[in-house]
Structure 1
Amino acid sequence: MGRRSPYPEEFRNDAVALWRAAAGRRTYSAVAADVGVSGETLRSWVRQADGHASRGHARGGEAAEGQDEELTRLRAELGRLRKAEKEWELEREILRRAAQYFAKEMRA
């Protein structure tokens, strides 16, 4: 587990609120300089407040597990659909050839 932040939770929440109020007009670094922390520290607080993990770190929580399960399910379904699509292509090709054959027979 990570070490405990030296900043109180209320201070972090206020810094995040300040950044959100200035979002689009000021950078993380500019807002962070006003409150006396680094830009990356403020950015990580915003990510935590939004419920996102930073890049390169393992995701935690039930929401992430649910997303992983859904992603696995969707990938499996995509695989089944691609296999079915190939089978349908083969069936269409057989029907196309059969239609051509019978069209020739009717002309002769």
Structure 2
Amino acid sequence: MDTYPLEQEVPAMGKHHNPYAPEFRAQMVELVKAGRSPEELAREFEPTAQTIYNWVAQSDRDSGKRHDGLTTAEREELTRLRRKVRQLELEREILSKAAAWFARETGTVPEKGSNS
């Protein structure tokens, strides 16, 4: 009898693939715009038809033909700004803790839990 059932191997959720090269994506988008179907390209190449549809939609957003989502530049800026916000929040937390520590060390603030 297995006494450690949580140690069983967990099946993979799905196949993970490294991102496709921008040149490859652009080529797939151009093939769709030239009349080939995403399903046909999916059979011939590796990405799924849905992935190719997504690339075409993103290309249309980037060129201004669609307005139902963020352009690639906007998405990159959003990612950069979120990263910056996380960094600033971390720095603020560190500074706040350091200020509290220095205040306690110099006796300018009573210890936590003190009634004074």
TM norm structure 1? 0.44
Which structure features the higher share of helix residues?
1
Q: Which has the higher contact order (CA 8 A, sep 6+)?
A: 1
Larger Rg: 1
TM norm structure 2? 0.42
